[in-house]
Amino acid sequence: TTGVPIESIGDWDVDLIAPDNLEDALVAAGKMRPEISLWRALQTQKLDEAELAERSRGPELSFMLMGAGGDRRDPMAKAGLVFSWAFEDGGARRAKAKKMLAEANAADHHALGAMMDAASETASAWASWKAAPSTVNAAERSVKASDEFYKIERVRFNAGKGTLSELLEAQEMLAESEALLASATWRQRLAWTNLMAAVGILNWDEINAEKELKSAFLSLSKEQVAP
């Protein structure tokens, strides 16, 4: 399945729908990246113009109506087919056809370059996306272990067997692990966002705004666990 556009990526509960594999992601990028579509459309346009210019150099058969005022109901009106051939046009039509072909080739070159860039960006984004879940899972395990440790230290402190410094140290470890989980979760969503952008689904303006928002959040999280 391919990713789908969403109104906002600020909701951390949103389903992170992404291509199933790198091959699907590369195919999606080839179809959805706007710059590739733009160059391909321009290439098609120039090829069509070149074909029209070439055709205009050949014979033409047209219908002509002659008579008083061009009224076909006039008994004196005559209709006929006119065969014409451009024997000489100073090479203008041939030159135009060549120019359109050259511009079509240039558009094809740009499209291929855009496809290579898209493939590189998609492969890099895909690698980050696939690596993100393991980081999140490790952070979740750390939070669970830190939470258990904090509960034990709290019981020991309430029973008079532990010190306040030990309890505060356990609490600090829990806060740090929770901050790391928040960071890992955000980085997973950032990896997803970059992948969606690489395949041409999200625009960079939305992404840059979201990066600034999450950077502020991460800074705040770090301040909360700072000694």
pLDDT tens digits for range 112-137: 998 999 999 999 999 999 999 999 99
How confident is the model over 81-91, as a mean pLDDT?
A: 54
What is the CA angle 191-194-196, rounded to 5?
A: 110
Residue 176's pLDDT is 94
CA distance 47 to 115: 20
Local structure of residue 73 (DSSP, 8 states): T
Q: What is the pTM of this model?
A: 0.62
How confident is the model over 64-87, as a mean pLDDT?
A: 54
Question: Regarding predicted confidence, which is higher, 98 or 16?
Answer: 98
**Torsion from C-alpha of 50, 53, 57, 62, nearest 10 degrees:** 130
Question: pLDDT band at residue 33, thresholds of 50, 70 and 90?
Answer: confident
Contacts of 211 (CB under 8 A, 6+ apart): 190
Question: pLDDT band at residue 7, thresholds of 50, 70 and 90?
Answer: very low
Assess contact for 150 and 173: CB atoms under 8 A.
Answer: yes
Distances, alpha carbon 12 to alpha carbons 176, 186, 198, 201, in Å? 20, 8, 21, 18
How confident is the model over 204-224, as a mean pLDDT?
A: 49
Residue 35's pLDDT is 86
Nearest residue to 153 (alpha-carbon basis) of 177, 172, 180, 140: 172
Question: pLDDT band at residue 79, thresholds of 50, 70 and 90?
Answer: low
Residue 60's pLDDT is 55
Residue 123's pLDDT is 94
Residue 80's pLDDT is 58
CA distance 192 to 133: 11
The size of the chain, in residues, is 227
> What is the CB-side half-sphere exposure of residue 70 using CA atoms within 13 A?
3
How confident is the model over 70-76, as a mean pLDDT?
A: 55
Question: pLDDT band at residue 50, thresholds of 50, 70 and 90?
Answer: confident
CA distance 117 to 91: 39
**Largest distance between two CA atoms of the chain:** 122
Residue 143's pLDDT is 95
Token duo for residue 51: 């074909």
How confident is the model over 147-156, as a mean pLDDT?
A: 95
pLDDT tens digits for range 162-213: 999 999 999 999 999 999 999 999 899 889 888 988 988 765 555 555 555 4
User: Left if phi > 0, otherwise alpha if psi is -120 to 50, otherwise beta: which for 143?
Assistant: alpha
How confident is the model over 67-84, as a mean pLDDT?
A: 54
Assess contact for 43 and 102: CB atoms under 8 A.
Answer: no
